[in-house]
Every structure is written in structure tokens, then in C-alpha cells.
């Protein structure tokens, strides 16, 4: 079937252009027994909220595929995605940890910067060793090992609040927590118009990186929802491009053919071009040559 000339022009553009502390409300699902115990989430929230100034340290069990050396984090999902607190690393150690050579299977570590009872920054690590607090530095409160599922739910709920940098930084560690299922919460965050756009985009990105077939279906729905703003939809399109070709490419082709927003179609076409998938090449041939 020959498609509209305008869509064909979009394909040309796509091929030529490079884009490339507060009280946390426990979601109702937890109160009903799905996910971690609601009491555990509330207790964790109360312990964090009790700190009004300084740094809060938390440790938690990580998923089996996750390892880290205190400097970078590697996960054995789709090509060993690596992440690190690059802005905070100086002389091979962070302000919070000393690093190791070996990639250790945990524990996960989170540091919360608290000023006047408000969480202003959140840093995530795996492995390494806590540095001794400086006598002249900010006071440090170590909460020790906490429940990983409860922490994941707390992090997602915290990220849903409209706020600053700490809220968007809370998304990633939720995906590392062992025995946790943060995906429904992250989809809820992606759709929450009251949350910051940065946090919502982070939720979409990590859904695309870490989730399985269910995430692909959810991302597909997210792209098509009228209530979701364009910037978040574009993040969903990118996340689909990071899924295995058998999952992501068919959805991107459908978006490129049928989505009502030209910019979303253009984005889908661009990422199809990056995939080098034969099905994407066939679509471009159809658009450009009318075959």
C-alpha cells in the first residue's frame, strides 16, 4: 500500500537527521497485599523523614544480574548496561564510597542529601565501601540494610512528587532492588502529570532497559495515550528502540505508519533507521520508492 507523500518526506528527514523529605503515600496496591508490606514502607519513610539535616545512608539487596565496584554499576540485561555517578567521581572515589577493583554482587547503596528536612540529592551505588564520615563534614545517619521491595516502592512514590533533581534520581535504584516489582509503579509515574517531566522520562527509559515483554506492551500503550505529553511519548519511542528487535521493531513500524503526531512518527522512523533491521529497510523502501 502506498502511503501519504507527507509520511514519505518524514522518512527522508528521519534518515538524514541525528537526534538522537516528605511523607510518602503508600499506593493502594501495597495496602491490598500486592508488593511489599505497607507497614514496611511507612516505617522506612518515617526513619528517613526523621533526619532533618545531613546525609542518610541506606543499603539494600540487589538483583542477581547487578554488580558494581562502588564507582560504576553493571547489569546483565541486554548488553551489560553500565551506569555511574560520573559527576561525583573524583580521583577514583566518590564523596561517599571507596571503590573496589572487582564487580561485587551488592549491596546496593543509596545516599540522600537532606537540607532543612528536604531531600535535595540522591546518589546510588553498588559494591564498594563506605568512607568514614569527615568530622568537619555533614552529619551522617546510617539506616543499615533495609527491605529492598519496600525501598523500591518508597523510591517510586518519592519520584512521583513534583520536585527537583532528587526525584528523577530516585527512579534508577528502584530497578536494582532485589525481589521488587517496580514496573507497575513506573508506568504509573510515566502517566502522572503531576510528577516532573524528568522523572517521567527516566521511568520510561528504565522500563525500556530493564523490563520484559510486559514493558513493551505498556510502552506501546503509553505512546498512543492522548493524555501523555509529547516529550514523554518520545521517551517511550526511544525505550522501544532499546528493546530486542522482535519486540520493539514491529511496534515502532506501527507508530511510524499510524501515529497522528508527525513528530512522534519522525522519531519512530529515526530509531528504526538506527536498528538496521530488514523490516525497517522494507518500510523505508515502501515510503521512498512506493514499493
* 66-68 and 108-115 strand pairing: unpaired
Question: Cis link prior to 107 (omega < 30° from 0)?
Answer: yes
For 279, phi then psi, to 5°, come to -70, -35
The 3-class SS string of 105-135 reads CCCEEEEEEEECCEEEEEEEEECCEECCCCC
Question: For residue 60, what are the β-bridge partners?
Answer: 108
- Which class does domain 1-20+181-291 fall in? mainly alpha
Structural domain boundaries in the chain = 1-20+181-291
- DSSP state, 195? S
Task: Look at the alpha carbons of 227, 230, 235, 240 in this order and tell me if their dihedral is positive or negative.
Answer: positive
Coil, strand or helix at 72:
strand
pLDDT tens string, the chain, 291 residues long: the values are: 344 444 333 333 333 332 223 344 444 443 333 456 889 999 999 999 999 999 999 999 999 989 998 888 887 644 345 565 544 544 445 778 888 888 899 899 999 999 999 999 999 999 999 998 877 778 999 999 999 999 999 999 999 986 788 999 999 999 999 999 888 888 888 888 888 888 988 887 777 665 445 556 677 777 878 777 888 888 888 888 888 888 889 999 998 888 888 888 888 888 888 887 888 878 877 876 776
Q: Alpha helix (H) ranges present in 225-290?
A: 230-241, 245-258, 262-275, 278-289
Task: Tally helices (H) and strands (E) across the chain.
Answer: 13, 9
Element (H, E) at 144: strand 140-145
Q: Exposed (0-12), middle (13-18) or buried (19+): which is 102, by Cβ within 10 Å?
A: exposed
Please name which of 195, 262, 197, 281 lies closest in space to residue 235, comparing C-alpha atoms: 197
- CA dist., res. 210 & res. 65, Å (int): 11
Amino acid at each position: 500500500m502506498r502511503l501519504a507523500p507527507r509520511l514519505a518526506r518524514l522518512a527522508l528527514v528521519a534518515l538524514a537527521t541525528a537526534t538522537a523529605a516528605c511523607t510518602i503515600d503508600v499506593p493502594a496496591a501495597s495496602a491490598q497485599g500486592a508488593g511489599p508490606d505497607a507497614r514496611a514502607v511507612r516505617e522506612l519513610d518515617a526513619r528517613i523523614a526523621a533526619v532533618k539535616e545531613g546525609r542518610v545512608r541506606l543499603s539494600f539487596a540487589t538483583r542477581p544480574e547487578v554488580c558494581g565496584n562502588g564507582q560504576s554499576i553493571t547489569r546483565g540485561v541486554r548488553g551489560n548496561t553500565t551506569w555511574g555517578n560520573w559527576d561525583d567521581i573524583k580521583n577514583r572515589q566518590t564523596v561517599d564510597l571507596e571503590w573496589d577493583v572487582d564487580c561485587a554482587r551488592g549491596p546496593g547503596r543509596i545516599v540522600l542529601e537532606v537540607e532543612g528536612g528536604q531531600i535535595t540529592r540522591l546518589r546510588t551505588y553498588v559494591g564498594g565501601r563506605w568512607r568514614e564520615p569527615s568530622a568537619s563534614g555533614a552529619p551522617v545517619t546510617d539506616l543499615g540494610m533495609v527491605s529492598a521491595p519496600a525501598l523500591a516502592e518508597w523510591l517510586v512514590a518519592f519520584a512521583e512528587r513534583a520536585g527537583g533533581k532528587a526525584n528523577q534520581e530516585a527512579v534508577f535504584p528502584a530497578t536494582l532492588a532485589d525481589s521488587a516489582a517496580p514496573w507497575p509503579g513506573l508506568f504509573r509515574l510515566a502517566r502522572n502529570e503531576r510528577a516532573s517531566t524528568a522523572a517521567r522520562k527516566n521511568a520510561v527509559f528504565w522500563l525500556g532497559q530493564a523490563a520484559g515483554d510486559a514493558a513493551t506492551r505498556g510502552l506501546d500503550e503509553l505512546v498512543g495515550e492522548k493524555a501523555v505529553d509529547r516529550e514523554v511519548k518520545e521517551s517511550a519511542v526511544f525505550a522501544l528502540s532499546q528493546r530486542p528487535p522482535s519486540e520493539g521493531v514491529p511496534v515502532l513500524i506501527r507508530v511510524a505508519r499510524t501515529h497522528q503526531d508527525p513528530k512522534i512518527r519522525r522519531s519512530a522512523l529515526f530509531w528504526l533507521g538506527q536498528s538496521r533491521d530488514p523490516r525497517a529497510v522494507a518500510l523505508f523502501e515502501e515510503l521512498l520508492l512506493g514499493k
